[in-house]
Amino acid sequence: MKITNVRVLNIGVPQKKSIYNLKMLEGMRRDQYTHQVHSTSDGILQLMKVETDEGIEGLCTLEGARLGSMNPYTLEQMRHLVIGLDPFHREEIYQKMHRGNRWLYQAPGWQGPLDNCLWDIIGKASELPVWAIMGRVRESLPAYKNIRGETIQLSVEDAIRSVEAGFPAIKDHFYHPPNENIKWFEAIRSAVGPDIDIMHDAVGIYSLEQAIRIGRVLTELDYRWFEEPLPERHHKNMKSLCDAVDIPILAPEMMMDDVDLSAQWLISGATDLIRANARHGTTGIIKLAHLAELHGTTIELNAGGALSGLVHAHLAVSISNTSYYEYFDGSQEKSGLDYGITNPPSAENGSISPPDLPGWGAIWDWDKLKSKTLSEV
């Protein structure tokens, strides 16, 4: 089998992309911002399709603000490197594109969509779901629900609803100064009781001193992990924080497209757990998972929408050292449906499992997809 072409479909589904304001946070020891949605702008969706001489195609959606879209130059460079190669030589292709990205002037993780397409082809050609090729370790994985609320009371109510829906864990994104955040943490723990795992995602708002204080409070409240506590590029501060607190630190989210950098953060002690997302390629995720396992820790996958949601579902039952599937209420299902995926992953009783169909197991509404396709390059 040989790769004959790599195409990208531009899909005209109304897709509102947020335009943000930056809001200065009050009560912080240094200037720090969070964002507020200012307006939305129309966007398009993209779907990568890798074709072979045996008629088997691998598909992968291109989604997420951190991935962006595939530009014509990058697509042409990708074609030049892989047309004529055997998709079963996935590791050879990965090494070529990963090691060569500096000399090709491409960003880390640029080969991610192609890599996911190759896994899809291999599964379809073998008539096996990807989880069966990787090796399954569990039937399903518990999911944690991201809770929301403009007030403590609204956040508490969302937390209680999530637990009642069967989620064994929840995560907050509270962006307040430390004293205020601590009140919210205590209220959430009091509301859900001691048996529910809770995580705090700070999105990098704290100084080192504040993060140490918050980390010790979260330890007392028996939180599961402390995510993105500082600007993650500040390696020295991240390492100092890991040394100073008992709660596991989860990073680096904003640099997770670079698996080598993520590996170095773990090896050097600048994170305790590894953050990753398969939109940057399943092969790299597996390598990071093995590294984390040998370090006696876990890899935790960032929320995946569209096809990435199904990719993460396969990884969830195939990686032994991962704890939870990240779930946003309704948004992951919607992003899959927008692309024409009729079976996007959905949490059932607080857990996720992948489909049993070959490849990633996506069921596509081809009529919808064709009617919405604006162009193909």
Average confidence score pLDDT of the chain: 91
Tokens found for residue 228: 């993105």
Q: Does position 192 have pLDDT exceeding 70, yes or no?
A: yes
pLDDT (tens digit per residue) in 343-367: 998 898 999 999 999 999 999 999 9
Crossing angle (nearest 10°) for helices 178-192 and 152-164: 30
Phi, psi of 324 (to 5 degrees): -145, 155
Crossing angle (nearest 10°) for helices 306-316 and 282-294: 30
pLDDT (tens digit per residue) in 41-90: 566 788 999 999 999 999 999 875 444 578 899 999 999 999 999 999 99
Give the pLDDT band (50/70/90) at residue 338.
confident
pLDDT (tens digit per residue) in 300-321: 999 878 899 999 999 999 999 9
Residue 235 and residue 200 share a domain: yes
Q: Does position 27 have pLDDT exceeding 90, yes or no?
A: no
Residue 157 and residue 80 share a domain: no
Predicted local distance difference test score (pLDDT) of residue 360: 98
Predicted local distance difference test score (pLDDT) of residue 14: 61
Predicted local distance difference test score (pLDDT) of residue 44: 77
Q: Does position 108 have pLDDT exceeding 90, yes or no?
A: no
Q: Does position 134 have pLDDT exceeding 70, yes or no?
A: yes
Residue 51 and residue 84 share a domain: yes
Is residue 68 domain-resident?
yes
Measured CA to CA, the distance from residue 312 to residue 309 in angstroms comes to 5
- CATH number, domain containing residue 230: 3.20.20.120
Residue 87 and residue 152 share a domain: no
Burial 313-329 (b: 16+ CB within 10 A, else e): bbbbbbbebbbbbbbbb
Q: Which residues pair with 42 in a beta bridge?
A: 16
Tokens found for residue 209: 């001193």
pLDDT (tens digit per residue) in 148-158: 999 999 999 99
Residue 97 and residue 153 share a domain: no
Residue 150 and residue 93 share a domain: no
328 or 22: whose pLDDT is higher?
Answer: 328
Residue 111 and residue 158 share a domain: no
Predicted local distance difference test score (pLDDT) of residue 70: 85
Q: How many structural domains is the chain composed of?
A: 2
Is residue 161 domain-resident?
yes
DSSP designation for 37: E
101 or 55: whose pLDDT is higher?
Answer: 55
41 or 132: whose pLDDT is higher?
Answer: 132
Q: Does position 374 have pLDDT exceeding 70, yes or no?
A: yes
Q: Does position 94 have pLDDT exceeding 70, yes or no?
A: yes
Half-sphere exposure of 165 (CA within 13 A, CB side): 22
CB 28: neighbour CB atoms within 10 A?
A: 16
Tokens found for residue 251: 């990073």
Number of H helices, E strands in the chain: 14, 13
Residue 195 and residue 110 share a domain: no
CB 2: neighbour CB atoms within 10 A?
A: 13
Is residue 108 domain-resident?
yes
Residue 203 and residue 223 share a domain: yes
Is residue 171 domain-resident?
yes
Residue 347 and residue 304 share a domain: yes
DSSP designation for 177: -
Measured CA to CA, the distance from residue 311 to residue 308 in angstroms comes to 5
- 3-class secondary-structure state, position 328: coil
Q: Which residues pair with 60 in a beta bridge?
A: 48
Predicted local distance difference test score (pLDDT) of residue 280: 86
For CA atoms 288, 290, 296, 297, give the dihedral sign: positive
Predicted local distance difference test score (pLDDT) of residue 65: 44
Residue 99 and residue 43 share a domain: yes
Measured CA to CA, the distance from residue 309 to residue 362 in angstroms comes to 10
Question: Quick one: average pLDDT of 252-270?
Answer: 93
Predicted local distance difference test score (pLDDT) of residue 30: 62
Share of the chain above pLDDT 90, in %: 72
Is residue 375 domain-resident?
no
* Residue-number span of the structural domain to which 253 is assigned: 133-361
pLDDT (tens digit per residue) in 262-297: 999 999 999 999 999 988 899 999 999 999 999 999
